[in-house]
Amino acid sequence: MKRLILSIVLFLLLSTSSYGQYYFGKNKVQYTNFDWQVLTTQHFEIYFYTEEKEIAQIAASCAEESYWFLENKFNHRIVKKIPLVVYSSPNYFAQTNIIPSLLPESVAGFTEFLKGRMVIPFNGSYSNFARVIQHELVHAFIMHKIPYVMKAHQRFNYTGLPLWFEEGMAEHWSREWDSEADMMIRDLVISGRFPQLEDIYQLYGTFLMYKMGEAFCAHLKKEYGDDKIGLLFENYWKAPNFSEVFQLTFNKTLKEVWSQWEYSLKKKYFPDIESKDLPNRVSTQLTFDGINIKPEPVFLSDQLWVVFKSNKLGYSSICMMSPKGEKEKTVTLIKGERSPQFESLHLLKSKIGVSEDGMVAFVSKSHENDVLYVYDVTQRKITNEKRFGDLIELSSPTWSPDANQIAFVGVAKNGYSDLYLYELQNRLLTRLTNDIYEEKAPQWSPNGKGIAFSSDRGSWGEEGFLNLFLLALPENKITPLTSGPHHDLAPDWSFDGESLVFSSDRNGSYDLYLLSFDPENGSWHTSQLTSLLTGAFDPSFSPDGKDIFFTAYEKYSFQIHKMSLDSAMVGFDDFSESANLSLHTSPSAWRPKKTEGDQESGSVKYKNRFSFDIAQSAISYDAVYGTVGGFQVALTDMLGNHQYFFLLGNSARSSDDFLSSFNLGVTYINKTHRLNYGYGFYHLKDEYYDEYYGFYTERQYGGMALASYPLSKFKRVDASFFLRQSDRDVYIQNRGRKAFLSTNYISWVLDTSIWDYVGPIDGTRFNFTLGLTLNLKNGKAYNKLALFDFRKYLRLKKNSCYAVRVMGFTSVGKEPQRLYLGGSWSLRGYDRRAFYGRHLVLLNNELRYPLIDNLSIGFPFGKISFHAIRGALFFDAGNAWEDEFDQLYGSFGIGARISLGYVMVLRFDISRTTDFKKISRKTDFDFFFGWNF
């Protein structure tokens, strides 16, 4: 029976099933039922749901404009319409079935290669939406252009662009060079951390990699012209790898151009040291590890504290520290990302609001939507929580001075990002704005009569620039406070309400500015508070108004700093912000462009159209698991909600067996709703081996039904039902049998783990499974089983933890299931499959710690680098037995785990075994590929 289940599971997995509910794993929960429509334009098919029609029309316009731009750059036409799937919010986007894996919050969109689908959420910002569409469209063009060129030149073996270059190109051709990118590259150059070409892989997957690639492409444009990047694709057939194609196109090696680029950056940025400072030179750094941002100082029991957001140990959390710094005292208030209540604290996107009496307002994703929480710092507990049914996302709550109301930014199902006001007493929600413009970081004024916020509603907003605005209450009248082609972010009021401190890139890099009202001439004046080589964000006045706490960027990290306001003034701008406003500002002056789609087709209801995701043939044979693989085909619809998997193989050993030895399977999976379900039919026949029966042949055919219901991102219930005829022919003993069986499994699965490079390092994993197989001919139980697998990872430091696994298994009945034990993944120091039986216990204890980071080994042909090598100190105990338990077998040892580029881990263990009376003299050395348990 184990073979049956394994066959089915392997079939599903090999078919790249996204029925990802496999033993452990977090869940992608389909909370929302979408009514999908399709809008057709000249070059795109845009998939959207009814509520976000306007977003889809904006997407259509952006996509067509981007197509036109990129067609020119690539000199290429994409003949087939490009599928573009649009979500009105990142929370909805996280539910997409187009790729099976969970999407990190940092993913702003993706283009997948099976059907060339671009999948993009609207995050409230029109200009950002347009940029992401163009970024993803660059990938779509690359996916079409390179194969077209290679096929035309009859070249079929080629490698793709390096990831850093492709992503950099996508950034370069989708946005203007901006202050954020400039800040990151300047920081690298000034800090002496600028990577060499051969070390760029160390940045793979990071935001910095995107910016490095973007800066490199900007350099190519400046020195050689943007057309040469396009020419690179025309030349792709001429050489076998990217480096040579690059050299052919630019008449210089990639290394030469990299070196030239680095030199030009030094010439550009080093002179800035004369006039700008590193954050540490002008302020006091309070935090040091991980990312620590969005400080909010508050007096509690006559003592000043700083509440802030942190991801020090990988999880996002809300913490509180002494104003002298985290080393003095730090308390974690809210632990995010490990419970359904605080699934995501939106680390970077959302500020926290702290009232004068120590109530912390923050938002977190919880199940489908974001929830507004109020946490009492004194009592250390949540005192209020509110889920707004129509609001999908929330961010940056701010308290009214009387602490009775909270204003925040909310995103409705149609994607509109607006300001809302929530009255705590009567639980009343009021919408303050209602338009397509993006609102960010509202801050209630001390007199309670206005809310300052950042928005793209000004005349520069269409180009993506955010300026400051003031919403007067209760009139709801919006007036601009700043205007210009720059970003003015995160305003915070002084306690007299006479000035605002904010972050702005108006002088080319993000610095802090003070916007002060001059009552004598009724105008606003801006003075610059910092002039940093890197950047300053999220400023917040101390309660006495003497200091400013802020987030500073340095060495690819965000940390909290404190600066005295008296020593901060570096210059006073003599221009009047008011005069600037009168010249440039016309609130709500622009509207995003929209297109209705093709006149002929317009928008129509979505219909399932299936196409191939994968068709492959791969067969292997294992004595225990039989023949694995065959010809496999996966068919899915455009949204990935409906999936068919087909398997065809033959395990015949002779021509006589041919007809009866077909391995066939058809499985359908429906992922449209929260309850994922599937069903299928199969016929499997193969020869197997196990310790109990020896070699035998088993033929099984029947049907199955599968279901998985996620209770949250972390918990689910899985169930499966098999109805089958099983005919077994055992070679040596005359123990063949024929049976008509029904098998039922039900599992409870929990997974809150987070991983580092070689496996889980924090959280919990748990699987409890019960199984029952009935012989339908006599109605008696054929076998019963219970499985218990609990794994706990106790974080000790950032990269170290104590991991423990406790596992038990038992199976009884006429034909019980049996498991193997032994080897690198279970009971170390013993041979793989050293123990076998229908009962099993296993205990693993392991201390995981960092051994070596960034190891490079030189060879005559180049160097091989390893990003992370982790050490392990372990002790195991366990046994598997048939009827009578004899004793526990144990082992202990040390090991190393080497990360091989995120896809594989090489494990090496040195161990000795023990029977708990004596220790064996033989030392076991074991190499194995696989993640930590």
Question: Which residue lies nearer to other proteins by CB, 155 or 792?
Answer: 155
Lookup result for tokens 């610095």: 511
Min dist CB 251 to other proteins, Å, is 6
Pick between residue 237 and residue 677 the one whose CB is nearest to other proteins: 237
Contact string 16-55 vs other proteins (x = CB under 8 A): ----------------------------------------
Q: Which two tokens stand for residue 541?
A: 């006045």
Nearer residue to other proteins within complex by CB, 231 or 403? 231
**Nearest to other proteins of 149, 197 (CB atom):** 149
- Minimum CB distance to other proteins, residue 222 (Å): 12
434: exposed, middle or buried (Cβ count in 10 Å: 0-12, 13-18, 19+): exposed
Single out the segment in contact with other proteins by CB under 8 A; choices: 223-231, 569-577, 785-793, 884-892: 223-231
CA atoms within 13 A on the CB side of 564: 4
CB 132 within 8 A of CB 109: yes
Show the binding pattern over residues 61-90: x = contacts other proteins (CB under 8 A), - = does not.
Answer: ----------xx--x-x-------------
Q: CA-to-CA distance for 233 and 161, rounded, in angstroms?
A: 10
d(CA 101, CA 248): 38
The residue among 71 and 289 lying less far from other proteins, judged by its C-beta, is 71
- Give whichever of 156 and 861 is closer to other proteins, judged by the CB atom: 156
Q: Which of 226, 376, 690, 727 binds other proteins (CB under 8 A)?
A: 226
CA–CA gap between residue 799 and residue 868 (Å, rounded) = 10
Distance in Å, CB of 134 to other proteins, minimum: 16
Q: Does 231 bind other proteins (CB under 8 A)?
A: yes
The sign of the torsion formed by the CA atoms of 42, 44, 50, 56 equals: negative
Minimum CB distance to other proteins smaller for 72 or for 379: 72
Compute the least distance from the CB of residue 140 to other proteins, in Å.
17
Q: Edge-to-edge, what's the strand order for the sheet holding 547-553?
A: 284-285, 558-564, 547-553, 535-541
One character per residue 234-263, x = contact with other proteins (rule: CB under 8 A): ---xx---------xx-x------------
Q: Compute the CA torsion angle 789, 102, 202, 849 (nearest 10 deg).
A: -20
Q: Which helix (H) or strand (E) holds 10?
A: helix 2-14
Look at residue 90 and give its three-state secondary structure: helix
Alpha carbons within 13 angstroms on the beta-carbon side of residue 236 total: 25
Q: Supply the minimum distance, in Å, between the C-beta of residue 65 and other proteins.
A: 12
How many other C-beta atoms can be found within 10 angstroms of the C-beta atom of residue 237? 17
* Closer residue to other proteins, CB minimum distance, 73 or 115: 73
CB-CB contact of 576 with 556 (8 Å): no
831 contacts other proteins (rule: CB under 8 A): no
Least separation in angstroms between residue 733's CB and other proteins is: 42
State which residue, 141 or 558, has the beta carbon closest to other proteins.
Answer: 141
- The Cα 691–Cα 386 span in angstroms is 58
Task: Figure out which of the listed residues 2, 81, 115, 228 binds other proteins, where binding follows CB under 8 A.
Answer: 228
CB nearer other proteins, residue 248 or residue 847: 248
Interacting span for other proteins (CB under 8 A) from 227-235, 391-399, 742-750, 854-862: 227-235
Strand partners, 219: none
196/601 with CB nearer other proteins: 601
Tokens of 133: 């569409």
User: 254 with 508: CB under 8 angstroms?
Assistant: no
Smallest distance from other proteins to CB 150, Å: 11
> 427's torsion region: left (phi>0), alpha (psi -120 to 50) or beta?
left
Residue 238 or 555: which CB sits closer to other proteins?
238
| Minimum distance of other proteins from residue 170's CB (angstroms) | 19
How far is 249 from 235, CA to CA, in rounded Å? Answer: 7
From 199, 206, 225, 854, residue interacting with other proteins (rule: CB under 8 A):
225
Ranges within 142-181 binding other proteins (CB under 8 A): 152-154
- How are beta strands 82-87 and 118-121 bridged, if at all? parallel
| Helix axes of 207-224 and 254-269: crossing angle, nearest 10 degrees | 100
> With CB under 8 A as the contact rule, which of the stretches 218-226, 577-585, 682-690, 877-885 interacts with other proteins?
218-226
At residue 209, what is the residue type?
Answer: M
Rounded Cα distance, 748 and 768, in Å: 5
Q: How far is the CB of 72 from other proteins (least distance, A)?
A: 4
SS3 518: strand
- d(CA 144, CA 121) in angstroms, rounded, equals 23
Identify which of residues 224 and 679 has a Cβ nearer to other proteins in the complex.
224
Please report how close the Cβ of residue 127 comes to other proteins at its closest, in angstroms.
Answer: 22
Compute the least distance from the CB of residue 817 to other proteins, in Å: 46
Closer to other proteins by CB, 230 or 822: give it.
230
Least Å from the CB of residue 175 to other proteins: 19
| Among the listed residues 24, 110, 201, 224, the single contact to other proteins using CB under 8 A | 224
Question: Percent helix, strand, coil in the chain (nearest 5)?
Answer: 20, 45, 35
Q: Does 383 bind other proteins (CB under 8 A)?
A: no
What CA–CA distance (Å, rounded) separates 187 from 509? 11
# residues contacting other proteins (CB under 8 A): 18
Near other proteins in 735-754, by CB under 8 A:
none
Please tell me the total number of residues recorded for the chain in this structure.
Answer: 933
Residues 6+ apart with CB under 8 A from 486: 460, 465, 467, 504, 505, 506
Least distance from other proteins to the Cβ atom of residue 44, Å: 15
Nearer to other proteins, 76 or 457 (CB): 76
State which H helix or E strand residue 320 sits in: strand 317-322
Binding footprint of other proteins on the chain (CB under 8 A):
71-72, 75, 77, 152-154, 224-228, 231, 237-238, 248-249, 251
